């Protein structure tokens, strides 16, 4: 009998998270894509209310904070929140932030009925035991004309990458392994499933972007570092065009309230 699924966090892994994710080409590429996609929002002159869920070290939300928008930073890991506070203070934007240590499921109790112009939820749902149940929580925090910036780990792309690398048994076993790797998401989400969930909760996708459409399929991974600027330029050129967008290891979808 398999163990019951449970939510995961990066508690105790702050240093490893910073090194393995954002100090690498894949992390820098992720930030570059998000900055391009959300620039029309953080460049707005009118101050916005921003909620960053599972915010980790809060690197991306600084794009909003530096431009005078107010950010509510939340994460389940207390050490991650503390590290984010230190980073924001060092960068001179701490006054733009409020901080809460809480899981996504606890946020309705913590934040009450507050609503936000922009809700950021990046690389969070794939760590939850029941990711679809997060969507009504995210929706309740969205202002009527607000935006949900949702990034999730793409199950279809994970299958593709593992086939490219010859991991046939792993794919045949439906991506199940006996020993889990803590830094690897265990609940990749199929885009078709996400579309069905969003329709169920009357949320509409306004824009889809693939993140790491080419990066994860490079035959020589060292090329990502050696030719990083060219890689970013080509990712940006093709990552909102099919079939390339669908191959992104992550999907970044911009979502608003449906009719």
Annotated binding site for S-adenosyl-L-methionine: 30, 54-55, 75, 122
Is-contact 218 224, C-beta < 8 A? yes
Is-contact 1 187, C-beta < 8 A? no
Bridge partners of 251, per DSSP, are 152, 210
Query: Binding site membership: which residues?
Result: 30, 54-55, 75, 122
CA nearest neighbour of 188 among 157, 166, 162: 157
SS3 for 10? Answer: coil
Give CA–CA dist 73/122, Å, rounded: 12
Question: Which residue do the tokens 């790491």 mark?
Answer: 212
Is-contact 129 5, C-beta < 8 A? yes
Give CA–CA dist 35/63, Å, rounded: 8
How many other C-beta atoms are found inside a 10 Å radius of the C-beta of residue 88?
23
Exposure string over 149-167, b if 16+ CB within 10 A, otherwise e? bbbbbbbbbbbbbeeeeee
Is-contact 9 77, C-beta < 8 A? yes
Give CA–CA dist 169/172, Å, rounded: 5
């Amino acid at each position: 009998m398999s163990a019951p699924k449970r939510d995961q966090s990066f508690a105790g892994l702050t240093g490893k998270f910073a090194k393995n994710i954002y100090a690498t080409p894949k992390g820098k590429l992720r930030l570059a894509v998000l900055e391009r996609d959300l620039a029309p929002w953080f460049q707005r002159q009118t101050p916005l209310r921003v909620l960053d869920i599972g915010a980790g070290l809060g690197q991306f939300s600084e794009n909003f904070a530096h431009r005078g928008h107010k950010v509510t930073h939340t994460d389940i890991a207390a050490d991650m929140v503390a590290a984010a506070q230190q980073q924001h203070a060092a960068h001179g934007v701490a006054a733009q932030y409020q901080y809460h240590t809480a899981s996504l499921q606890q946020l309705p109790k913590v934040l009450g009925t507050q609503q936000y112009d922009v809700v950021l939820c990046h690389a969070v749902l794939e760590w939850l035991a029941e990711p679809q149940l997060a969507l009504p929580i995210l929706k309740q925090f969205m202002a009527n004309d607000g935006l949900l910036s949702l990034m999730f780990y793409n199950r279809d792309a994970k299958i593709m990458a593992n086939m490219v690398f010859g991991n046939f048994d792993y794919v045949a076993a439906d991506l199940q392994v006996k020993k889990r790797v803590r830094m690897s998401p265990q609940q990749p989400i199929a885009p078709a499933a996400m579309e069905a969930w969003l329709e169920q909760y009357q949320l509409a996708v306004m824009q889809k972007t693939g993140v790491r459409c080419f990066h994860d399929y490079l035959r020589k991974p060292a090329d990502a570092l050696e030719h990083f600027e060219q890689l970013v330029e080509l990712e940006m050129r093709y990552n909102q065009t099919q079939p390339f967008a669908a191959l992104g290891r992550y999907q970044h979808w911009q979502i608003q309230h449906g009719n």
